């Protein structure tokens, strides 16, 4: 896949390519790898329907900032105009709660499911999902939240409200 993308795109992406994709693709366009509010803004201006705050697990560029550090400022800049998804370093229900508290609409955690799958087979992914749910519910109870939306009213560092 990396070879195909490199050969097809010359190893680079551009705002012009995003605009062309938005114009030609009939479905929603989601841009992954956003780490700066200016880039998030430009994605929306160019036609993206959603963004994913992600540093690709640090695999693309070792010196990329942590996605969680970039999330709050991006959410603030976007102001609810498009969904903001989060992908980066989610290893527990607490990490999901933090991402939601910072304003993410959804959190991805692919690596954890892959570890569960590798360790326990098909049941491993289900185990990870159940574990994350239990952890998230526990965090919410400790913060006095009954609904996920209430996490947005909490300090993402989980200081007392």
Structure confidence by residue, pLDDT tens digits, 105-140: 999 998 898 999 999 998 999 999 999 999 999 999
Integer CA distances (angstroms), 10 to 31, 37, 59, in order: 18, 26, 19
76: tokens are: 């603030």
**Domains of the chain from N-terminus onward:** 14-153 (3.20.20.70)
pLDDT of residue 83: 98
pLDDT of residue 161: 43
Return the active site residues: 56
pLDDT of residue 160: 43
Task: Outline where the chain has alpha helix (H).
Answer: 2-9, 15-24, 37-46, 67-78, 93-101, 110-120, 122-143
Structure confidence by residue, pLDDT tens digits, 61-112: 778 888 999 999 999 999 999 999 999 889 999 999 999 999 999 999 988 9
Given a cut of 80, whether residue 5 has pLDDT beyond it is: no
pLDDT of residue 89: 85
pTM of the predicted protein model: 0.87
DSSP annotation of 14 reads -
Q: What does the buried/exposed string (b/e) look like for 6-42 if buried means 16 or more CB atoms within 10 Å of the residue's CB?
A: eeeeeeeeeeeebeeebeeeeeebebebbbebebbbe
138: tokens are: 């526990």
């Amino acid at each position: 896949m990396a070879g195909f993308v490199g050969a097809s795109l010359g190893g680079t992406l551009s705002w012009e390519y995003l605009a062309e994709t938005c114009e030609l693709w009939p479905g929603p366009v989601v841009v992954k790898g956003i780490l700066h509010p200016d880039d998030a803004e430009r994605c929306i201006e160019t036609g993206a329907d959603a963004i994913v705050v992600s540093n690709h697990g640090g695999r693309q560029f070792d010196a990329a900032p942590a996605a969680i550090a970039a999330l709050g400022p991006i959410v603030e800049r976007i102001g609810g105009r498009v969904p903001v998804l989060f992908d980066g370093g989610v290893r527990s229900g607490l990490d999901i709660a933090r991402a939601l508290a910072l304003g993410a609409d959804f959190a991805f955690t692919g690596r954890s499911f892959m570890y569960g799958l590798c360790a326990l087979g098909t049941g491993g992914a289900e185990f990870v999902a159940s574990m994350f749910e239990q952890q998230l519910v526990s965090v919410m109870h400790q913060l006095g939240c009954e609904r996920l939306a209430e996490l947005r009213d909490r300090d993402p560092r989980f200081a007392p409200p």
